């Protein structure tokens, strides 16, 4: 790369080879002039005001890539399903969500790409809900000019993967609730768990398909699960009776349906006594009492992934232990916090 230094006062009519940044403390940071801008007479005072006495004209070598082009090439391979790109601006290309949905990030691919010198791929944590238009990742290279072989190497790595950063839209799956417990079934106390859970299901835009009550009776709970399945439920959430106490029979009732048990117990707090099972393609969630007292629990880590069409494995739950401890903040900022990350 050859750089030709030109005084600003002599630069009228010349073309910028890079973005120029303007910073106003506490107010603004961004490009004052972008790559490709033709310098005009009226630009000279502005350039001087941002501390530019000279500009540099870039003459690229045969195997050199400008930062804007490098970021664009990398981002095109990193951005996956239901994403789009904006920029480049100041050498950075952003990857944004095209729709509301569940963000998926291939962490291994991100690590490999960032292991290449001068490459920057910065993402949000995966498995969190994002909104359409939200920035998911930023891509850039460190120097103004980078060797072409460096970008070729990054492209080769990225080309080994699909959907490094992508969005899975949530489906409005029909979700039924079964609340268990003699105290509620026989009217000794008012059910306060069901309404909370119903509202949460609707928050995730699932299709709520009914709430029913059952006593602490294994056979009756099992039959209620099968009835919900026959009625077309795609997800069944069962509350109550999930501990290891002898009179808590919900886990045994779920097993008696013939469902495949993925896990009973998770390394997530709150949510240790959670159960996930699959009756064919119907997800059955045994939700412990923590869901009544805590705003965010293991349910919030699992339910969106089910709505996104994922079938979770035992390994998925094992990985939730890292970051699976809720800090119990007085004011909850989830998902903008470490929980579930």
DSSP one-letter code for 127: S
Structure tokens at 313: 């494995």
Dihedral pair phi/psi, residue 208, rounded to 5°: -70, 125
Q: Tell me the mean pLDDT in the region 40-65.
A: 82
Within a 10 A sphere around the Cβ of 115, how many other Cβ atoms? 10
Residue 264, CB half-sphere, CA atoms under 13 Å: how many?
13
pLDDT digits (tens, 9 = 90+) for 274-309: 999 999 999 999 998 887 778 999 999 999 999 999
Q: State the pLDDT at residue 58.
A: 66
SS3 for 55? strand
Q: Is the dihedral of CA 335, 260, 218, 185 positive or negative?
A: positive
Sheet strand arrangement including 101-105: 129-130, 101-105, 165-168
56-67 pLDDT per residue, tens = 766 667 788 888
Interval 143-176: pLDDT, tens: 888 999 999 999 999 999 999 999 999 999 999 9
Average pLDDT over residues 15-38: 73
Instruction: Report which of 122, 108, 102 is spatially closest to residue 307, judged by C-alpha positions.
Output: 102
Sign of the torsion formed by the C-alpha atoms of 106, 84, 337 and 243: negative
Q: Would you mind telling me the total number of residues written for the chain in this entry?
A: 341
Torsion of CA 232, 237, 241, 242, to 10 degrees: 130
Domains detected in the chain: 2-59 (3.90.105), 64-168 (3.90.1170.30), 174-319 (3.40.980.10)
pLDDT: which is higher, 167 or 28: 167
Q: What burial letters (b/e) apply to 301-324, b meaning 16+ CB within 10 Å?
A: bbbbbbbbebebeeebbeebeeeb
Residue 328: pLDDT above 60? Answer: yes
User: Quick one: angle between helices 107-114 and 67-78, nearest 10?
Assistant: 160
What's the rounded Cα separation, in Å, for the pair 176 and 238? 8
The pLDDT score that the predictor gives to residue 3 is 63
C-alpha span between 270 and 59 (Å, rounded): 58
Contact 120, 114 (CB under 8 A): yes
Reported pTM: 0.85
Report residue 76: phi and psi, to 5°.
Answer: -60, -30
pLDDT at 11: 80
pLDDT tens, 66-123?
888 999 999 999 999 999 999 998 889 999 999 999 999 999 999 999 999 999 999 9
Distance of CA 152 to the CA centre of its chain: 28
Start-to-end Cα distance in the chain: 42
Three-state secondary-structure class, residue 25: coil
Short-list 87, 108, 111, 97, CA closest to 35: 87
């Amino acid at each position: 790369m050859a750089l030709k230094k030109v005084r600003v006062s002599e630069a009228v009519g010349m073309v910028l080879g890079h973005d120029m940044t303007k910073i106003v403390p506490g107010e603004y940071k961004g490009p004052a002039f972008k790559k490709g801008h033709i310098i005009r007479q009226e630009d000279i005072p502005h350039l001087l005001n941002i501390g530019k006495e000279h500009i540099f004209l870039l003459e690229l070598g045969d195997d050199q890539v400008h930062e804007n082009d490098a970021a664009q090439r990398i981002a095109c391979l990193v951005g996956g399903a239901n994403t789009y790109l904006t920029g480049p601006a100041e050498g950075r290309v952003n990857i944004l969500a095209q729709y509301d949905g569940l963000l998926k990030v291939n962490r291994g691919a991100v690590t490999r790409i960032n292991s290449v010198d001068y490459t920057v791929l910065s993402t949000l944590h995966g498995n969190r809900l994002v909104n359409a238009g939200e920035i998911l990742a930023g891509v850039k290279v460190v120097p103004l000019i980078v060797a072409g072989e460096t970008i070729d190497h990054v492209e080769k790595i990225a080309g080994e993967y699909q959907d490094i950063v992508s969005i899975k839209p949530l489906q409005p799956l029909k979700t039924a609730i079964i609340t268990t417990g003699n105290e509620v079934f026989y009217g000794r106390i008012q059910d306060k768990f069901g309404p909370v859970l119903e509202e949460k299901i609707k928050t995730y835009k699932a299709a709520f398909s009914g709430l029913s009550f059952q006593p602490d009776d294994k056979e009756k709970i099992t039959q209620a699960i099968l009835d919900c399945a026959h009625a077309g439920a795609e997800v069944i959430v069962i509350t109550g009776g999930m501990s290891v106490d002898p009179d808590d029979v919900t886990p045994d009732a779920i097993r008696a349906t013939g469902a495949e048990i993925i896990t009973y117990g998770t390394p997530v707090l709150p949510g240790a006594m959670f159960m996930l099972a699959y009756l064919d393609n119907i997800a059955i969630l045994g939700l412990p009492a923590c869901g009544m007292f805590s705003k965010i629990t293991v349910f919030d880590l699992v339910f969106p992934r089910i709505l996104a069409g994922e079938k979770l494995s035992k390994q998925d739950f094992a990985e939730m232990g890292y970051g699976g401890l809720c800090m119990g903040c007085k004011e909850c900022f989830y998902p903008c916090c470490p929980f579930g990350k």
